Amino acid sequence: MLTQLWKRTRAIVGVAGITYLGIGLSIISAPLLAHTLDARGRGELAGAFAAIQVAGFVGFFALPRGLAVQDHKTGAASRVGVLVAAGLGPVNGAIIFVLADVLAGNQAWLATAIRIASITLVLGGLYQVGLEHAMLTGRLRAYNVSRVFGVVLPSLGYMAAFVFHALTLEVAFLISLGGQVGASLVGIYAAVDLIRRTRTLPTPWGFSLPVWASFVAEGVALRIDQVLLSALVAPAVLGVYSVASTLASASGGLTQAINTVAYGRIAQGSAPSDRQYARFARIGLTISIMSSAFVVAVIALWHELILGPTFGGIVFPLSVLCVSQALSDRWNLRVYQQSAAQKSKGLSMPAILGLVTMVVIVTALQMLGILGATTMALAVLANAIVRLIARKIILARQASEESLVTD
């Protein structure tokens, strides 16, 4: 029985293990960064990569996922599609390079950092193809190694620099950049198997573009909060919000691991995907509630000891962002389910409505002069709520219309 249980949970344990190893190291390295760089420096470090992450989500038209699904279903992927995905990397990198001054709010150091970081986008197309392929096929070793570069090694680097009295904003930036480049190279390696099977097939735009509309809204919403704060408020405010966002994301670490494993199992499973989705969703929500309560309680009791005296207002935005994270994880599981089934209906419009709601709220907050860490967190929560509600309404309406046509 134990052997069977281990076989069923090994993949989740592996993904979650990397996540929580990263979280554990973050618990050590984040205070070192906070104390050494202070809230302003922490905000500049976050701002250097915020726009890069947004471009990584929205600049590839969901083509990497479409190619991975195509390869999984047919045993081969479009050669032209892979070349397009690879070519979009340099294009996205060039766009961010040109827009760096605007994205940095005309802060010289931040603009330079954004330009340097844009190199990671050059590798982004094939990197995403590789990770999508690994997740969909359940071959998570490359996925885990990529995340070691992304979330584990940077924390170790910060700690080593601190021990040798070398931890500065510039050194922290270079460590973060090195981790992202390493993760990209691992993803490209994971794509080799798919690339070898490419042949003359239609590029899967029919699946990718509708999903991309959801990706655009989701990817922009994921990081536009920090991009806007970087441009509109003091770096110290962004620093508080950035740490709260990181901690909220950490609270969903195990749920995200479950979602990652669920993606491959839903794609390969014989059970109805709705039944599998419901089971994974229940487990994920329960774990999210428990881990969020723990994270918020720890920070509420010992935030000054852990983060330093400049993060006194972090508890409320953290609490709001934890709720938002739980709702976002539920949405992401639904996206995985529909992607595995090659269904994109009901994804793009809810995501767009959620993003529009968030932008409208942020605009109003800025006009009223009350945009800050807490109010931005509430805007992010509104996005997550609207997205889920809109999807239910849209699909219910579509089901009703289809029923009328059938009758």
Average pLDDT per block of 10 residues along the chain, 407 residues long: 54 75 80 82 85 83 91 91 96 94 88 93 94 86 91 93 93 95 95 94 88 78 80 84 86 83 75 72 89 91 82 90 93 84 77 91 92 93 93 78 57
The reply to whether 389 falls in a domain is yes
What pLDDT does residue 39 have? 74
User: What is the reported pTM?
Assistant: 0.75
The reply to whether 3 falls in a domain is no
What pLDDT does residue 2 have? 46
The reply to whether 5 falls in a domain is no
Residue spans of alpha helices (H) in 341-372: 348-368
The reply to whether 158 falls in a domain is yes
Whole-angstrom Cα distance, residue 121 to residue 16?
A: 26
The reply to whether 404 falls in a domain is no
64 lies in which domain range?
12-399
The reply to whether 7 falls in a domain is no
Element containing residue 218 per DSSP (H, E):
helix 205-232
Q: How many residues does the chain have?
A: 407
The reply to whether 405 falls in a domain is no
Whole-angstrom Cα distance, residue 88 to residue 121?
A: 9
Number of structural domains, the chain?
1
Whole-angstrom Cα distance, residue 103 to residue 111?
A: 7
The reply to whether 354 falls in a domain is yes
- The DSSP annotation for 56-119 comes to HHHTTTTHHHHHHHHHHHHS--BHHHHHHHHHHHHHHHHHHHHTHHHHTTT-HHHHHHHHHHTH
What pLDDT does residue 5 have? 46
* CB 325 within 8 Å of CB 254: no
What pLDDT does residue 91 have? 96
Whole-angstrom Cα distance, residue 372 to residue 145?
A: 36
Single-letter amino acid code for the residue at 344: S
Distances (CA, A) of 206 to 16, 69, 73, 195, 202: 33, 12, 15, 20, 10
What pLDDT does residue 401 have? 64
What pLDDT does residue 47 have? 85
